[in-house]
Amino acid sequence: MSFEIVARPHQDNFLQWAADKPEVVVLSADLTNSCEVGVFRDAYPDRFYSMGMAEQNMLSVAAGMAREGLEPWLHTFSVFLYRRPLDQLQMSMAYPALPVRLVGFLPGITTPGGVTHQAIEDIAVLRAVPNMTILEVGDATEVESVIDVAHTIDGPVYIRQLRGEVSRIFPKEEPMVLNSARKLSSGTDVALMTSGIMTEEALRALPLITQRGVSVDHLHISTLKPFTDPAVLESMSRVSKGVITMENHSIVGGLGSAVAEVMAENGVGAKLSRIGIPDTYAHGASQKYLMAELGLDARALVTRVEQAVGESLNITDEELTEARIVDVHSSAKAEAL
Protein backbone atom coordinates (compact mmCIF):
# COMPACT_ATOMS: atom_id res chain seq x y z
CA MET A 1 0.00 0.00 0.00
CA SER A 2 1.67 3.22 -1.05
CA PHE A 3 0.41 6.75 -1.23
CA GLU A 4 1.43 10.03 -2.78
CA ILE A 5 3.73 11.89 -0.40
CA VAL A 6 3.05 15.58 0.03
CA ALA A 7 5.78 17.79 1.45
CA ARG A 8 4.62 20.36 4.00
CA PRO A 9 0.94 20.29 3.07
CA HIS A 10 0.01 22.83 5.73
CA GLN A 11 2.52 25.49 4.74
CA ASP A 12 1.29 26.80 1.40
CA ASN A 13 -2.29 25.69 1.92
CA PHE A 14 -2.67 27.78 5.06
CA LEU A 15 -0.91 30.71 3.43
CA GLN A 16 -3.30 30.73 0.47
CA TRP A 17 -6.33 30.01 2.61
CA ALA A 18 -5.62 32.98 4.87
CA ALA A 19 -5.13 35.41 1.99
CA ASP A 20 -8.72 36.66 1.94
CA LYS A 21 -9.27 36.35 5.69
CA PRO A 22 -7.78 39.45 7.32
CA GLU A 23 -9.16 38.40 10.71
CA VAL A 24 -6.90 35.34 10.70
CA VAL A 25 -3.74 35.97 12.71
CA VAL A 26 -0.98 33.56 13.66
CA LEU A 27 0.65 33.37 17.09
CA SER A 28 3.86 31.43 17.47
CA ALA A 29 6.05 30.50 20.43
CA ASP A 30 9.47 30.24 18.81
CA LEU A 31 8.61 27.26 16.61
CA THR A 32 7.54 29.15 13.51
CA ASN A 33 9.34 27.24 10.80
CA SER A 34 8.91 24.00 12.71
CA CYS A 35 5.16 24.54 12.43
CA GLU A 36 5.30 25.56 8.76
CA VAL A 37 4.18 29.17 9.26
CA GLY A 38 7.46 30.90 8.40
CA VAL A 39 6.04 31.72 4.98
CA PHE A 40 2.93 33.20 6.62
CA ARG A 41 5.12 35.37 8.84
CA ASP A 42 7.02 36.62 5.80
CA ALA A 43 3.88 37.21 3.71
CA TYR A 44 1.78 38.83 6.44
CA PRO A 45 4.09 40.33 9.04
CA ASP A 46 1.25 42.44 10.44
CA ARG A 47 -0.84 39.34 11.07
CA PHE A 48 1.95 37.34 12.68
CA TYR A 49 2.62 37.65 16.41
CA SER A 50 5.81 36.25 17.82
CA MET A 51 5.01 35.50 21.46
CA GLY A 52 8.31 33.99 22.53
CA MET A 53 8.63 30.92 24.72
CA ALA A 54 5.74 32.01 26.91
CA GLU A 55 2.75 29.83 26.18
CA GLN A 56 0.65 30.79 29.21
CA ASN A 57 0.68 34.39 28.06
CA MET A 58 0.19 33.35 24.43
CA LEU A 59 -3.06 31.50 25.13
CA SER A 60 -4.51 34.31 27.21
CA VAL A 61 -3.45 36.95 24.67
CA ALA A 62 -5.13 34.92 21.93
CA ALA A 63 -8.31 34.90 23.99
CA GLY A 64 -8.20 38.68 24.23
CA MET A 65 -7.73 38.94 20.48
CA ALA A 66 -10.65 36.60 19.83
CA ARG A 67 -12.89 38.76 21.98
CA GLU A 68 -12.07 41.65 19.64
CA GLY A 69 -12.98 39.79 16.47
CA LEU A 70 -9.65 38.36 15.38
CA GLU A 71 -9.31 34.63 14.73
CA PRO A 72 -6.04 33.57 16.34
CA TRP A 73 -4.35 30.45 15.00
CA LEU A 74 -1.73 29.33 17.51
CA HIS A 75 1.02 27.22 16.04
CA THR A 76 3.33 25.27 18.27
CA PHE A 77 3.95 21.72 19.41
CA SER A 78 0.90 20.09 20.97
CA VAL A 79 2.45 19.64 24.40
CA PHE A 80 2.96 23.38 24.70
CA LEU A 81 -0.70 24.11 23.92
CA TYR A 82 -2.53 21.90 26.41
CA ARG A 83 -0.04 20.55 28.93
CA ARG A 84 1.93 23.58 30.10
CA PRO A 85 -0.84 26.24 29.81
CA LEU A 86 -3.91 24.17 30.68
CA ASP A 87 -5.34 26.69 33.14
CA GLN A 88 -5.02 29.46 30.56
CA LEU A 89 -6.58 27.22 27.91
CA GLN A 90 -9.53 26.55 30.19
CA MET A 91 -10.13 29.88 31.92
CA SER A 92 -9.09 32.32 29.19
CA MET A 93 -10.37 30.44 26.17
CA ALA A 94 -12.57 27.39 26.77
CA TYR A 95 -14.90 28.84 29.42
CA PRO A 96 -15.79 31.87 27.26
CA ALA A 97 -16.02 29.54 24.21
CA LEU A 98 -13.87 31.86 22.12
CA PRO A 99 -12.92 31.02 18.52
CA VAL A 100 -9.23 30.32 19.09
CA ARG A 101 -7.50 27.66 16.97
CA LEU A 102 -4.82 25.57 18.65
CA VAL A 103 -2.78 23.94 15.91
CA GLY A 104 -0.77 21.31 17.73
CA PHE A 105 2.10 19.56 16.00
CA LEU A 106 3.93 16.33 16.90
CA PRO A 107 0.96 14.31 18.15
CA GLY A 108 1.77 11.15 20.10
CA ILE A 109 4.92 9.34 19.09
CA THR A 110 5.44 11.13 15.77
CA THR A 111 8.50 12.83 17.30
CA PRO A 112 11.78 11.41 18.60
CA GLY A 113 11.84 14.38 20.98
CA GLY A 114 10.99 12.14 23.89
CA VAL A 115 8.57 12.51 26.74
CA THR A 116 8.71 16.31 26.83
CA HIS A 117 7.63 16.61 23.20
CA GLN A 118 5.20 13.71 22.88
CA ALA A 119 1.55 14.63 23.32
CA ILE A 120 0.16 11.27 24.40
CA GLU A 121 -2.77 12.36 26.61
CA ASP A 122 -3.89 15.58 24.91
CA ILE A 123 -7.17 14.13 23.67
CA ALA A 124 -7.93 12.69 27.10
CA VAL A 125 -7.27 16.02 28.78
CA LEU A 126 -9.15 18.12 26.26
CA ARG A 127 -12.14 15.80 25.92
CA ALA A 128 -12.80 16.66 29.56
CA VAL A 129 -12.73 20.40 28.83
CA PRO A 130 -16.20 21.78 28.07
CA ASN A 131 -16.77 23.74 24.85
CA MET A 132 -13.77 22.19 23.05
CA THR A 133 -13.82 20.75 19.58
CA ILE A 134 -11.02 18.23 18.95
CA LEU A 135 -9.90 17.34 15.44
CA GLU A 136 -7.14 14.99 14.30
CA VAL A 137 -5.83 14.71 10.78
CA GLY A 138 -4.81 11.44 9.16
CA ASP A 139 -3.41 12.52 5.83
CA ALA A 140 -2.53 15.47 3.57
CA THR A 141 -6.12 15.98 2.47
CA GLU A 142 -7.14 16.39 6.07
CA VAL A 143 -4.15 18.61 6.84
CA GLU A 144 -5.47 20.88 4.11
CA SER A 145 -9.17 20.72 4.92
CA VAL A 146 -9.07 20.73 8.72
CA ILE A 147 -8.59 24.48 8.66
CA ASP A 148 -11.94 24.92 6.88
CA VAL A 149 -13.63 22.74 9.48
CA ALA A 150 -12.07 24.65 12.37
CA HIS A 151 -12.85 28.02 10.77
CA THR A 152 -16.59 27.35 10.82
CA ILE A 153 -16.68 26.63 14.57
CA ASP A 154 -17.54 29.61 16.76
CA GLY A 155 -15.66 28.18 19.71
CA PRO A 156 -12.23 26.84 20.63
CA VAL A 157 -10.72 24.12 18.44
CA TYR A 158 -7.73 21.90 19.08
CA ILE A 159 -6.13 20.30 16.02
CA ARG A 160 -3.72 17.35 16.08
CA GLN A 161 -1.85 18.45 12.99
CA LEU A 162 0.76 16.70 10.84
CA ARG A 163 3.71 18.33 9.12
CA GLY A 164 6.66 17.49 6.93
CA GLU A 165 6.14 14.58 4.54
CA VAL A 166 2.53 13.47 4.77
CA SER A 167 0.77 10.75 2.77
CA ARG A 168 -2.34 11.56 0.78
CA ILE A 169 -4.71 8.73 1.61
CA PHE A 170 -8.03 10.40 0.91
CA PRO A 171 -8.92 12.05 -2.41
CA LYS A 172 -8.23 15.76 -2.46
CA GLU A 173 -11.87 16.37 -3.42
CA GLU A 174 -13.10 14.60 -0.28
CA PRO A 175 -12.29 17.04 2.52
CA MET A 176 -12.66 16.43 6.23
CA VAL A 177 -16.21 16.84 7.50
CA LEU A 178 -16.95 17.71 11.13
CA ASN A 179 -18.16 14.78 13.24
CA SER A 180 -18.35 12.53 10.22
CA ALA A 181 -16.28 9.36 10.03
CA ARG A 182 -14.89 8.13 6.73
CA LYS A 183 -16.06 4.66 5.83
CA LEU A 184 -13.02 2.86 4.45
CA SER A 185 -14.43 -0.66 4.27
CA SER A 186 -17.64 -2.52 5.11
CA GLY A 187 -17.65 -5.75 7.04
CA THR A 188 -19.47 -7.94 9.51
CA ASP A 189 -16.78 -9.56 11.67
CA VAL A 190 -14.81 -6.78 13.28
CA ALA A 191 -15.42 -3.04 13.57
CA LEU A 192 -12.17 -1.08 13.37
CA MET A 193 -11.95 2.60 14.22
CA THR A 194 -8.68 4.35 13.56
CA SER A 195 -7.51 7.93 13.88
CA GLY A 196 -4.55 10.07 12.85
CA ILE A 197 -1.48 8.26 11.56
CA MET A 198 -2.94 4.94 12.73
CA THR A 199 -5.25 4.83 9.73
CA GLU A 200 -2.33 4.61 7.33
CA GLU A 201 -0.73 2.00 9.55
CA ALA A 202 -3.92 -0.05 9.64
CA LEU A 203 -4.18 0.11 5.87
CA ARG A 204 -0.87 -1.78 5.65
CA ALA A 205 -2.41 -4.80 7.36
CA LEU A 206 -6.03 -4.68 6.30
CA PRO A 207 -5.66 -6.12 2.76
CA LEU A 208 -3.98 -9.18 4.28
CA ILE A 209 -6.53 -9.50 7.05
CA THR A 210 -9.37 -9.28 4.53
CA GLN A 211 -7.61 -11.78 2.26
CA ARG A 212 -7.58 -14.25 5.17
CA GLY A 213 -11.35 -14.03 5.25
CA VAL A 214 -11.95 -11.55 8.07
CA SER A 215 -14.57 -8.97 7.19
CA VAL A 216 -13.67 -5.57 8.67
CA ASP A 217 -15.91 -2.54 8.99
CA HIS A 218 -13.34 0.27 9.03
CA LEU A 219 -13.97 3.87 10.00
CA HIS A 220 -11.42 6.68 9.99
CA ILE A 221 -12.25 9.11 12.80
CA SER A 222 -11.14 12.74 12.54
CA THR A 223 -13.45 14.38 15.10
CA LEU A 224 -12.76 13.25 18.66
CA LYS A 225 -15.08 15.82 20.21
CA PRO A 226 -17.98 15.98 19.67
CA PHE A 227 -18.21 12.20 19.34
CA THR A 228 -21.79 11.74 18.27
CA ASP A 229 -21.49 10.51 14.69
CA PRO A 230 -24.16 7.80 14.27
CA ALA A 231 -21.83 5.94 11.91
CA VAL A 232 -19.84 4.78 14.95
CA LEU A 233 -22.79 3.05 16.58
CA GLU A 234 -23.95 1.65 13.26
CA SER A 235 -20.53 0.15 12.61
CA MET A 236 -20.18 -1.52 16.00
CA SER A 237 -23.76 -2.81 15.83
CA ARG A 238 -23.11 -4.50 12.51
CA VAL A 239 -20.24 -6.81 13.53
CA SER A 240 -20.23 -10.10 15.41
CA LYS A 241 -16.67 -10.45 16.69
CA GLY A 242 -15.77 -7.26 18.43
CA VAL A 243 -14.59 -3.71 18.12
CA ILE A 244 -10.99 -2.53 17.80
CA THR A 245 -9.76 1.03 18.18
CA MET A 246 -6.33 2.21 17.09
CA GLU A 247 -4.91 5.56 18.09
CA ASN A 248 -1.61 7.39 18.42
CA HIS A 249 -2.47 8.31 22.02
CA SER A 250 -2.82 6.77 25.43
CA ILE A 251 -5.49 4.09 25.64
CA VAL A 252 -6.90 6.16 28.51
CA GLY A 253 -9.29 8.91 27.51
CA GLY A 254 -8.87 9.03 23.76
CA LEU A 255 -10.60 7.34 20.84
CA GLY A 256 -10.79 3.98 22.60
CA SER A 257 -12.45 5.51 25.63
CA ALA A 258 -14.86 7.52 23.49
CA VAL A 259 -15.86 4.35 21.65
CA ALA A 260 -16.24 2.52 24.96
CA GLU A 261 -18.65 5.20 26.16
CA VAL A 262 -20.76 4.85 23.03
CA MET A 263 -20.81 1.06 23.41
CA ALA A 264 -21.75 1.15 27.08
CA GLU A 265 -24.39 3.84 26.75
CA ASN A 266 -26.03 2.01 23.86
CA GLY A 267 -25.78 -1.45 25.35
CA VAL A 268 -23.61 -2.77 22.57
CA GLY A 269 -22.60 -6.19 23.83
CA ALA A 270 -19.24 -6.70 22.22
CA LYS A 271 -15.62 -6.94 23.27
CA LEU A 272 -13.55 -3.79 22.79
CA SER A 273 -9.84 -4.00 22.11
CA ARG A 274 -7.94 -0.71 22.40
CA ILE A 275 -4.69 -0.29 20.49
CA GLY A 276 -2.79 2.72 21.76
CA ILE A 277 -0.04 3.76 24.11
CA PRO A 278 -0.66 1.40 27.05
CA ASP A 279 -0.83 3.95 29.90
CA THR A 280 2.88 4.62 29.87
CA TYR A 281 5.15 7.48 28.86
CA ALA A 282 7.25 7.01 25.76
CA HIS A 283 10.83 8.13 25.20
CA GLY A 284 13.09 9.55 22.52
CA ALA A 285 13.23 7.11 19.63
CA SER A 286 12.05 6.79 16.05
CA GLN A 287 8.38 6.51 15.22
CA LYS A 288 8.87 3.02 13.80
CA TYR A 289 10.72 1.85 16.89
CA LEU A 290 8.13 3.30 19.28
CA MET A 291 5.20 1.92 17.29
CA ALA A 292 6.65 -1.57 17.54
CA GLU A 293 7.69 -1.18 21.18
CA LEU A 294 4.32 0.16 22.30
CA GLY A 295 2.24 -2.14 20.14
CA LEU A 296 0.87 0.50 17.79
CA ASP A 297 1.85 -1.02 14.46
CA ALA A 298 0.29 -3.17 11.78
CA ARG A 299 1.49 -6.31 13.55
CA ALA A 300 -0.37 -5.23 16.68
CA LEU A 301 -3.54 -4.86 14.65
CA VAL A 302 -3.13 -8.33 13.19
CA THR A 303 -2.72 -9.76 16.68
CA ARG A 304 -5.84 -8.00 17.98
CA VAL A 305 -7.89 -9.17 15.00
CA GLU A 306 -6.65 -12.72 15.59
CA GLN A 307 -7.75 -12.47 19.22
CA ALA A 308 -11.16 -11.18 18.15
CA VAL A 309 -11.83 -13.92 15.63
CA GLY A 310 -10.16 -16.61 17.73
CA GLU A 311 -7.80 -17.95 15.12
CA SER A 312 -4.37 -17.31 13.65
CA LEU A 313 -4.31 -15.54 10.31
CA ASN A 314 -0.79 -16.69 9.50
CA ILE A 315 0.38 -13.30 8.29
CA THR A 316 4.17 -13.10 8.11
CA ASP A 317 6.30 -10.04 8.79
CA GLU A 318 7.36 -10.12 5.17
CA GLU A 319 3.77 -9.80 4.07
CA LEU A 320 3.13 -6.73 6.12
CA THR A 321 4.14 -4.01 3.73
CA GLU A 322 7.04 -1.93 4.77
CA ALA A 323 6.02 0.97 6.97
CA ARG A 324 6.43 4.40 5.49
CA ILE A 325 8.46 6.13 8.12
CA VAL A 326 9.74 9.57 7.31
CA ASP A 327 13.45 10.02 7.78
CA VAL A 328 14.15 11.96 10.95
CA HIS A 329 16.35 14.26 8.90
CA SER A 330 13.80 14.84 6.16
CA SER A 331 14.26 18.15 4.37
CA ALA A 332 10.52 18.71 4.75
CA LYS A 333 11.03 19.47 8.43
CA ALA A 334 12.77 22.48 9.94
CA GLU A 335 14.60 20.29 12.44
CA ALA A 336 14.96 16.67 13.43
CA LEU A 337 12.29 16.75 16.13
Partner 1 sequence: MGSTAAEVTTEHIHSLAQGIRKRVLQHTLTNNGGYMSQACSAAELLSTLYADILHLPPVSAPLLPEAFAGTPAPGGINRQTGAIFHGGVSAEHDRLIVSPAHYALVVYAALIEMGRLDENALDSFNKDGSTVEMIGAEHSPGFETTTGSLAQALSHAIGIALARRTKKDSGKTWVFMSDGEFQEGQTWEALHAANHYSLDSLRIIVDVNRAQVDGPMDSVMVIEPLEEKIANFGWDVRKVDGHDIDAIRLAGNDSSSRPMAILCYTDPSRGLPILQERYPVLHYLRFKSSDEQAQYQAAYEEMSR
CA separation, residue 190 to residues 223, 277, 302 (Å): 21, 21, 12
Among 17, 39, 57, 289, binds partner 1 (CB under 8 A): 57
Is the bond into 96 cis (omega within 30 degrees of 0)?
no
Q: Closest approach of Cβ 337 to partner 1, in Å? A: 23
Q: Are 60 and 35 in contact (CB under 8 A)?
A: no
How far apart are the C-alpha atoms of 54 and 58, rounded to whole Å?
Answer: 6
**CA geometry: angle at 220 spanning 215 and 221, to 5°?**
135
Least distance from partner 1 to the Cβ atom of residue 175, Å? 21
Write the interaction track for partner 1 spanning residues 250-289; mark x where CB under 8 A is met and - where it is not. ----------------------------------------
Q: Which of residues 118-177 bind partner 1 (CB under 8 A)?
A: 130-131, 133, 153-156
The region of 10-18, 68-76, 246-254, 326-334 touching partner 1 under the rule CB under 8 A is 68-76
Cα 118 from Cα 81, distance rounded (Å): 12
Taking the complex as a whole, the smallest distance from the CB of residue 74 to partner 1 amounts, in Å, to 12
Dihedral sign for Cα atoms in the order 284, 330, 197, 17 = positive
**Residue number with CB closer to partner 1 (95 or 289):** 95
67 sits near partner 1 (criterion: CB under 8 A): yes
x/- mask, partner 1, residues 94-113, rule CB under 8 A, reads -xxx----------------
Judged by beta carbon, residue 72 or residue 164, the one nearer partner 1 is: 72
Selected range binding partner 1 among 87-95, 121-129, 231-239, 282-290, rule: CB under 8 A: 87-95
> What is the distance of C-alpha 152 from the center of its chain?
19
60 binds partner 1 (CB under 8 A): yes
Question: CB–CB of 235/189 below 8 Å?
Answer: no
Nearer to partner 1 by Cβ, of 17 and 44: the residue is 44
* Distance (Å, whole) CA 9 – CA 122: 23
CB of 118 to partner 1, least distance (A): 24
Residue 179 lies near partner 1 (rule: CB under 8 A): no
Any idea how long the chain is?
337
Beta bridge partners of 191: 217, 243
The residue from 88, 195, 222, 223 that contacts partner 1 (CB under 8 A) is: 88
CB atoms within 10 A of CB 41: 17
Stretch that binds partner 1, among 58-66, 74-82, 178-186, 317-325 (CB under 8 A): 58-66
Task: Note whether 35 and 163 are within 8 A (CB).
Answer: yes
Report how many residues bind partner 1 under the rule CB under 8 A. 35
Task: State in angstroms the smallest separation of the CB of 281 from partner 1.
Answer: 25
CA separation for the pair 212, 166 (Å, rounded): 30
CA separation, residue 311 to residues 72, 215, 257 (Å) = 52, 14, 26
Which span (92-100, 101-109, 161-169, 284-292) binds partner 1, by CB under 8 A?
92-100
Instruction: Tell me how far, at minimum, the Cβ of 14 lies from partner 1, in Å.
Output: 19
Would you say 70 or 296 has its CB closer to partner 1? Answer: 70
Strand ranges of the sheet holding 157-160, from the earlier edge strand across to the other edge? 48-50, 24-28, 71-77, 101-105, 157-160, 133-136, 223-225
Strand-pair category, 4-7 with 165-168? antiparallel
DSSP state of 322: P
Residues that bind partner 1 (CB under 8 A): 46, 49-52, 54, 56-57, 59-70, 72, 87-88, 91-92, 95-97, 130-131, 133, 153-156
